[in-house]
Amino acid sequence: MLRLAIAFLVIALIAGVLGFGGIAGASVGIAKIVFMIFLVLFVIGAIAHFMRKA
């Protein structure tokens, strides 16, 4: 599950760079939303991973 969360984080970071950098000016709002969603999913996945190990 942590691998999936990391994959989502990478996708969100790419979307964030494209959105915040002005490369995809029309999709800035969508990129910000996707970035935040995947960031939350990554944090939840990381917490779940560390809770399982403990």
Question: pLDDT per residue over 1-54, tens digit each?
Answer: 788 888 888 888 888 777 676 665 666 777 788 889 999 999 999 999 999 877
Parent domain of 29: 2-53
Query: Concatenated DSSP letters for 5-46?
Result: HHHHHHHHHHHHHHHHTTTTGGGHHHHHHHHHHHHHHHHHHH
From residue 38, alpha-carbon distances to 5, 15, 47, 53, 54 in Å are: 8, 10, 14, 22, 24
> Structurally, how many domains does the chain consist of?
1
pLDDT for 9 equals 87
pLDDT for 40 equals 94
pLDDT for 44 equals 95
